[in-house]
Amino acid sequence: MPAPIETLRKQKHLANMNIPLPKDIYGPKRRNSRGVNLNIRSHYYPLMEKMAAFMDKQYSVKPLVAFDIADDASNTHSVTTPYDRRQTVGSVQWATKEQATKALDAAWTAFHRWDATPVAERAAIVRRLGDLMEEHMPELMALCSREGGKLLTDGVDEIREAVDFCRFYAMRAEEDFGQVIELPGPTGESNRLFMGGKGVFAAISPWNFPVAIFCGQVVAAAVSGNTVLAKPAEQTSIVAHRVIELLHEAGMPRDVVQLLPGDGPTVGSVLTSDPRITGVVFTGGTDTAQIINRALAARENAPLATLIAETGGMNAMIVDSTALPEQVVVDVIQSAFQSAGQRCSALRVLYLQDDVADRVIEILEGAMAELHIGDPRDLGTDVGPVIDEDARKGLLAHIEKLKAENRLVAETPMAAEHTQDGTFVAPVAFTIDSIDSLTREQFGPILHIVRYKASELDKVINDINGRNYGLTFGVHSRNESFAAEIAQKMRVGNVYINRNIIGAVVGVQPFGGQGLSGTGPKAGGLHYLHRFVTEKTITNNTAALGGNASLLALGDE
């Protein structure tokens, strides 16, 4: 047998052409988003140099609509950064109720023209947006950090997810809506299925994913043939404004997608009360989703509106005695504390089997002590700020309550010189008796730990399912049959085995929940766009055109 080196020398090249490059892993129809490895100097320093140009820039934004809007200082709000409230990012002029109504007028008028636009043209615009966001990644990342308090790693993931949404939904629209579907039927009859947009969609997005979720909602609705009124979260309106600017640059007509920054009582009331709103796509709290649902249902003489909602969760992870403690802790730290715990998918309740609980908690305490809290623009920072003072106060109230009950397990030290001017909350872990001890989701870096005996496993599963939240769930076990059985029993949208429970990938791990955690279908999934369209079947009696079609066909032979 020849030596391996001799075999290699006979090859024309050393590259294995059967292994696709990262950009090609999804095949020829969808290009993968471009990544940045922040641990490689040749990637990190050029990115930071480009981001530096936007770190002190002051933005002044207002609604992006189909008509001109005058400056209004009385309705303009200053935006400060969560990691240092002394620093301003710029200002946002909020939309008035009258402007929101006028924007809806324009969207309603534009709908039929946009719905008649060929799917390929709509998809091309969305793809161009993805390309532009890749090109402008440094600026969008800078805004994510300055306005939303996001870490650099979170910023890279955020922009990549938005780009993936654009390319995935463009591909799905062309495949699903780009041609008439012939349906089988009786001889002499033609049955065809057409799919088109529903009308005007309101897209109401959260601050924790101000580019990815915001972009995903808007492009999904628009590429499906709907006009869109986009209301970003009040806290992150500047970066949303920049995304819509890029969307218009990509060729999206201004009356098809309009941006309405503002508060819920002003803008939201228009978007949920007007009978011309045919659908709402929403990501945010469960309570807000229920308010929107009631408002849509209360409209008099209005068609039943579509509500696509992805809401919160009391996400749990079960760890059994066979799990590897070191791996468990790595995944728990990421799941509970990355993004300062401000993900709907974040881990809230960790169930540890008694046999391994002490060891896991010991390692967890050590890992939490090593976390660095501070400026999210610093690559060495592990945990950044929470979004605003209201969020901080609510989390601290819960923390103080559990501390008073002597339930503290571990708390990450927080240096005042790095955090005193921002809205920071230190990662903290507590023991509780069960998931039923929690009255609501705590949207921040707070982990709750429950010990359980192996004999109590069925009760644990019933307790988790009984809360009726069904977003994400994790199980750590080296017993494959055990992990598979638990995964099957959990009523959730996403189950993760022996890994963290955050960071779903578009088209690979479609994301979304059930019960109190959402309506479905799953974002970034095969069926998502179908919720944005109507179906029309046209049946034609071809025999009425002159003779039975089948007999005519026989006559040609």
Instruction: Provide the angle, in degrees to the nearest 10, between the axes of the packed helices 325-337 and 354-369.
Output: 60
- Tell me the backbone φ, ψ of residue 83, rounded to 5 degrees: -85, -10
> Does 182 qualify as catalytic in the annotation?
no
The string of DSSP letters for 268-316 reads IHHHHH-TTEEEEEEES-HHHHHHHHHHHHT-TT-PPPEEEEE-----E
Q: Are strands 316-319 and 349-353 parallel, antiparallel or unpaired?
A: parallel
Please count the other Cβ atoms lying within 10 Å of the Cβ belonging to residue 541.
11
Q: Which of 144, 166, 215, 344 is catalytic?
A: 344
Please state the three-class secondary structure of 324-348 as a single string: CHHHHHHHHHHHHHHHHHCCCCCCC
SS3 349: strand
Is residue 484 exposed (0-12), middle (13-18) or buried (19+ Cβ within 10 Å)? middle
Token duo for residue 280: 């709402």
> Does 310 qualify as catalytic in the annotation?
yes
Report cis status (omega within 30 of 0) of the bond before 186: no
User: Are 537 and 185 in contact, with CB atoms under 8 Å apart?
Assistant: no
What torsion do the CA atoms of 19, 24, 30, 35 make, to the nearest 10 degrees? 130
Q: Which of 147, 161, 174, 310 is catalytic?
A: 310
Where would I find the H helices in 370-472?
389-404, 416-419, 457-466
Strands (E), 8-114: 59-61, 76-81, 84-93
Contacts of 149 (CB under 8 A, 6+ apart): 81, 82, 83, 340, 376, 384, 385, 386, 387, 422, 423
Residues assigned a catalytic role: 310, 344
